[in-house]
Chain A
């Protein structure tokens, strides 16, 4: 879901001023209200002063869950697993995917079409199929499920997203710049390091972040290969059975806040760069 957010859209013709109701606007805001409804609920109930273990009815305002956000050792452990797997996925898929994207975008080679097709299939295949297939392999070969299995799976289903993001950027690069560098006596490695890589960096970062986001969000594939490891989504899923502690809402809210902050920074930086 990477969208490079910026405002450089071709200037649309100024909408004619009419006094009619702007139904489109109302509609869009309605959609937004729908999208934010459960989030609002989640945030509000992170402040709920519950007595029992069911965080469903409003029982008073408190900040105490924010202070005790790490009180559930296992929940914290689950979050750490999720973050560790997310970061490792970002690094591994980011690297492998970028190389693949570079190869696909810059070079013509045998097997290119097949590679594209496999990547397309990997992106389109439903999660339950990917999870089931991986588990089948692990069963047949006798590989133990667990942390490594989750990592292998996450890199597998995110690497194509990274490759596609990077490829799209590579295609737009001006090859003359690299040629110029070579003309000035830079070797292939130096050219790559000083010219190609910096230009690709935004796309690589975007791809890596996308991999991270997909990884920490994943429930279905992970549930197939997790073995004894419980990640954040898996823990929440399990806890629904006995009542989700408000700490989950707090963590959800904090992750949401980090996302919002990153997005806002992204917008501001994009604006600055232009002006």
Chain B
């Protein structure tokens, strides 16, 4: 009898915490998103679905932009992260862990501080652009800061390890003799990569993509620090509506629209890559 209870007792505090501060709050937000009112009168439950319509019609531009930026950042992370993870896993030799550590080290610096550092590094006449301009490599009116590319690159920068680590983990675990076998069977380097290495590493790309796409789409720190007019992301709207305008119903509705869109994105992504197989491979 006691033994049967053990797992429940062990899990209880964790359950309680997650239920109280994760599941219930999400439910609370559903409730809040259906209220009407303003800060002077209070907000009353009216099951006002109109909040969702408002959220979609007023902020569809920012929503679509966030998805595009998130997608862009994720693709950049794959393009940059995959070769790096590949090289470290296959050619890092005995310095593998050192390389991995080097990739992680910048992230000991606070997220906000890192992003702000970029802002100073990229200023029009700063260390980087100023130098390039003075030697004539860039036109004098060239600017990176306050543009969409700055935001997307900032996002990619901040979430790169979430891409590198899963890919590395899969490649590193892979039996390298498989590649040799492919070569023995007269596969060219490219063929060996496309037919053997890539399929095996896909679960890592999937995990990395998930862990990059979600936070980058919902982030607003990068857009606020590195973006300019016309780069506002949906997270920023949520933040402003909650904390500045105290317009809670619309804020909650926007949050749900964002969540819904992300969920749809994740499921279609999973379907495209075949999650079932992905998860199986990972579980081994």
A–B: direct contact at CB < 8 Å: yes
Question: Measuring CB to CB, which residues of chain A are less than 8 angstroms from any residue of chain B?
Answer: 1, 3, 5-7, 9-10, 12-13, 15, 22, 24-25, 27-28, 31-32, 34-39, 41-42, 45, 55-56, 95-97, 99-100, 102-104, 106-109, 111, 115, 118-119, 121-122, 124-130, 132-137, 139-141, 152-153, 155-156, 159-160, 163, 213, 216-220, 223-224, 232-233, 236-237, 240, 244, 248, 252, 255-256, 258-260, 263, 267, 270
Inside 8 A of A9's CB, which chain B residues have their CB?
96, 172
Q: Are A38 and B21 within 8 A (Cβ)?
A: no
B94, CB-defined interface residue at 8 Å: yes
Q: Are A1 and B110 in contact (CB under 8 A)?
A: no
Among candidates B97, B104, B118, B242, residue contacting A38 with C-beta atoms closer than 8 Å: B118
Interface string of B91-114 (1 = CB under 8 A from A): 101101111111111111111111
In the complex, the answer to whether A24 meets B91 with C-beta atoms within 8 Å is yes
Beta-carbon contact of A232 and B110 below 8 Å: yes
Give a binary string over B219-242; 1 marks a CB under 8 Å from any A CB, 0 the rest: 111000100000000010011001
* Chain B interface, number of residues (Cβ within 8 angstroms): 92
> What CA separation (Å) do A25 and B96 show in the bound complex?
12
Given A132-B251, A139-B32, A260-B105, residue A5 in contact with residue B221 (CB < 8 A): no
Task: Please state if A136 and B248 are interface contacts (CB–CB under 8 Å).
Answer: yes
Q: Is B218 an interface residue (CB 8 A)?
A: yes
Contact of B96 among A7, A141, A248 (CB under 8 A): A7
Chain B contacts for A45, CB-based, 8 A: 120
Once the chains bind, are A252 and B110 in contact (CB under 8 Å)?
yes
Do A256 and B180 contact each other (CB < 8 Å), given the known contacts A34-B157, A140-B28? no
User: Once the chains bind, are B243 and A223 in contact (CB under 8 Å)?
Assistant: yes
Query: Which residues of the other chain, A, contact B105 by a CB distance below 8 angstroms?
Result: 35-36, 39, 256, 259-260, 263
Partner of B111, one of A100, A102, A107, A219: A219
CB-based contact A1/B113 at 8 Å: no
Contacts of A128 in B (CB 8 A): 218-220, 235, 238-239, 255, 258
* Listed A/B pairs (20) with beta-carbon separation below 8 Å: A10-B175, A15-B93, A22-B91, A24-B87, A28-B83, A38-B157, A42-B113, A96-B13, A96-B17, A100-B11, A100-B13, A100-B14, A107-B6, A124-B211, A126-B217, A127-B215, A141-B28, A217-B110, A223-B239, A259-B105
Q: In this complex, what residue of B is CB-closest to A270?
A: B97
**By CB atoms of chain A within 10 A, which of B17, B19, B80, B83 has the most?**
B17
**B210 close to chain A: CB less than 8 A:** yes
Smallest CB–CB gap between A96 and chain B, Å?
Answer: 4
Which positions in B face A, CB cutoff 8 Å? 6-8, 10-11, 13-15, 17-19, 21-26, 28-29, 31-32, 80-81, 83-84, 86-88, 90-91, 93-94, 96-114, 116-118, 120-121, 123, 126-128, 157, 160-162, 165, 172, 175-176, 180, 210-211, 214-215, 217-221, 225, 235, 238-239, 242-243, 248, 251-252, 255, 258-259, 262, 266
- With CB as the reference atom, state the residue of chain A lying closest to B16: A96
Residues of chain B with a CB closer than 8 A to A103's CB: 6-8, 10-11, 14
Chain B interface SS verdict (over half) = helix
Number of A-B residue pairs with CB-CB distance less than 8 Å in the complex they form:
265
Tell whether, in the assembled complex, residue B94 and residue A155 are in contact, meaning their CB atoms are under 8 Å apart.
Answer: no
Q: Are A126 and B21 in contact (CB under 8 A)?
A: no
Q: How long is the Cα–Cα vector from A130 to B214 in the complex, in angstroms? A: 13
Contacts of A232 in B (CB 8 A): 110
**CA distance in complex: A118, B161 (Å):** 24
Quote the shortest CB–CB distance from B240 to chain A (angstroms). 11
Instruction: Closest A residue to B169 by CB, please name it.
Output: A3
Q: Is the CB of B29 within 8 A of A236?
A: no
Residues of B contacting A136 in the complex (Cβ-Cβ under 8 angstroms): 25, 28-29, 31-32, 248, 252
Chain B residues, Cβ within 8 Å of A7: 94, 96-97
Neighbour of B104 across the interface among A1, A10, A236, CB < 8 A: A1
Assuming the A-B contacts A128-B235, A133-B28, are A5 and B100 also in contact, with contact meaning beta carbons closer than 8 angstroms in the complex?
yes
Query: Which residue of B7, B93, B103, B162 contacts A12 across the interface (Cβ within 8 Å)?
Result: B93
Q: How far is the CA of A42 from the CA of B112 in the complex (A)?
A: 12
Choose from B22, B107, B175, B211 the contact partner of A156 (Cβ within 8 Å).
B22
B106 — which chain A residues lie within 8 A by C-beta? 35-36, 38-39
Q: How far is the CA of A88 from the CA of B271 in the complex (A)?
A: 40
CB distance from A28 to the nearest CB of B (A): 5
A102, A137, A213: the one contacting B28 at CB < 8 Å is A137
Q: Which residues of A are found within 8 Å of B84, using beta-carbon distances? A: 27-28, 31
Q: Are A37 and B121 in contact (CB under 8 A)?
A: yes
Beyond A118-B22, A132-B255, 9 extra complex contacts between A and B, CB < 8 Å = A24-B91, A38-B120, A100-B14, A115-B14, A124-B211, A136-B28, A136-B31, A217-B110, A255-B109
**Pairwise interchain contact A252-B87, C-beta atoms closer than 8 A:** no
- CB atoms of B32 and A140 under 8 A apart: yes
By a CB distance below 8 angstroms, the chain B residues around A256 are 105, 108-109
